[in-house]
Amino acid sequence: MKTLTKNKTFIITVLAFAVLVLLSGCAKREVVDACLTGHTYGFWGGLLHGIIAPVDFIISLFRDDVTMYAQNNNGAWYALGFLIGSGGWGFLGGHGAKKCKTTD
């Protein structure tokens, strides 16, 4: 009896996931043409955007006009700057941790 319930749950989960994937194709396309004109962001822009990414993420939850990643960027250099900038939060956060010595 338990395997029948497990199979039923599995089939319902797979079907729900399939419906979700199919319906996601019906989503409205976001038009970014206006974002692709003007200033192109490079390495330094990516670095700045990576540093402020946690703040941008929180603000983007409440406002539709704020994004974390610049659409109008120059590609790999922007991505490298963003990666270094966002990785800095992990490196800077580890300095406050103390190492504990355990004695047995």
The answer to whether residue 44 sits within a structural domain is: yes
For residue 93, pLDDT over 60 is answered with no
User: Which residue segment(s) compose the domain that 75 sits in?
Assistant: 40-91
User: Which residue matches tokens 């989960």?
Assistant: 13
Predicted pLDDT at 43: 92
Mean pLDDT of 58-75: 84
For 72, which DSSP code?
S
The answer to whether residue 24 sits within a structural domain is: no
Q: Which of 63, 65, 64, 83 is nearest to 73 (CA)?
A: 83
What predicted TM-score, i.e. pTM, was given to this entire model? Answer: 0.53
The answer to whether residue 11 sits within a structural domain is: no
| Domain total in the chain | 1
CB 39 within 8 A of CB 73: no
Predicted pLDDT at 102: 67
The answer to whether residue 54 sits within a structural domain is: yes
For residue 56, pLDDT over 80 is answered with yes
The answer to whether residue 103 sits within a structural domain is: no
What tens digit of pLDDT does each residue of 15-47 get?
A: 999 998 888 877 777 776 776 777 888 999 989
Q: Is 61 exposed, middle or buried (0-12, 13-18, 19+ CB in 10 A)?
A: exposed
The answer to whether residue 6 sits within a structural domain is: no
SS3 of 41, please?
Answer: strand
The answer to whether residue 69 sits within a structural domain is: yes
For residue 92, pLDDT over 60 is answered with no
The answer to whether residue 83 sits within a structural domain is: yes
Mean pLDDT of 89-104: 59
